[in-house]
Structure formats: C-alpha cells, structure tokens
Structure 1
C-alpha cells in the first residue's frame, strides 16, 4: 500500500487531510467559529497534512492507517453511546410501565 501511496501523493494528501478534518470536527470543534477563523484552521490542518504526508512517504510511517484506526475507534465509541442510550430508554420505559 505504501508503494501505491508513494506513486499517488495527491491521493495520500487527500486521505490525510480528510482524516484530519473529520477528527477535528468530531473531537476538537466545540462551537461554530467565524468564517475567517475557520478558514485559518483548515489552512493549518492542510499544512499539518503536508507534514504528515512527508512522514508517510519519506519516512515510511503508517500515518493513513493510524488515522483510519482513530476514526474506527471514534465510530466504536459512537456506537457504544448509541447502545447505552437505547438501553437507558428501555429501562426508563419499563420503570414508567411498572409505576402506572
């Protein structure tokens, strides 16, 4: 996979950038920022993606697989919260039915 990414650096950059933007929006973004500040943040993310691209291609570090693992873990946490909220709703409904 690393050889293919080495042959297609723009695709590797795109994957890294999309992964970083997704992680930023799901983990670090607390509130909506003004447009100019948002633009500055996305430019800085692009700069960081460029640095990570160098690590991926030149140093051979597994940046893209690590981002995929991070996104997968975020998905697992989201599923866990969904299941816990669903169980909590069922328990509350059962308690309401017993009280009635």
Structure 2
C-alpha cells in the first residue's frame, strides 16, 4: 500500500471531504447548465454527498483509487480551462 493510499484510509473524514469537493467541482463545471430552485439544488448536493459516501466506501474498503482518479479528472478540467483562456487571449491579441 502506498503512503498516500494508506493516509487516505486512516483519515476517512478528510477523504470524504476531498471526494465531495471534487464531485461538486465536476458537477458545477460539467453538468450544471443553469441555476436550479433552492430545494432542488439542495437535493442535488445531498445526493452528491450520498454518492461521495459510496465512493468513500470504495476507497476505504475495496482500496479502489477514487481520490487519485478524481484528482486526475479535475486536473484535466483545469488544463482545458487554461487552454481556453490562452486561446481567448491569443484571439484578443490578433484583433
């Protein structure tokens, strides 16, 4: 077991918070098209919390690399956003 995986298993609350934050970021950047009414939005975040708990069980009990996979997904999303920013900046320079 690697040191990071061992640390994630021994600190489940921090792991849960990391998973939840990653899932909320992915939801907001990929799946959220418009603002929902407050109760529907609360339900969505509650369901994300339930899903984060299930993924926490996969991380801790089954030793699946959930946090590293979500980290890679978020890093790729950041790279795409940086690329769009650079392209928009280059277009502004050309005009």
TM range (shorter): over 0.9
**Displacement, 1:3?**
1.4
Aligned partner of 1:23 in structure 2 is 26
2:67 is aligned with 1:64: yes
The structure that has the greater radius of gyration is: 1
Any unmatched runs of 5+ in structure 2? none
Q: Give SS of 2:62's match.
A: coil
| Aligned partner (choices 45, 48, 54) of residue 45 of structure 1 | 48
**Structure 1: runs of 5+ lacking an equivalent:** 93-100
TM-score between the two structures when normalised by the length of structure 2: 0.93
TM-score normalised by length of structure 1: 0.89
Give the Cα–Cα distance (whole angstroms) in 2 for the partners of residues 14 and 30 of structure 1.
24
What is the number of equivalent residue pairs in this alignment? 92
**CA RMSD in angstroms, aligned pairs only:** 0.7
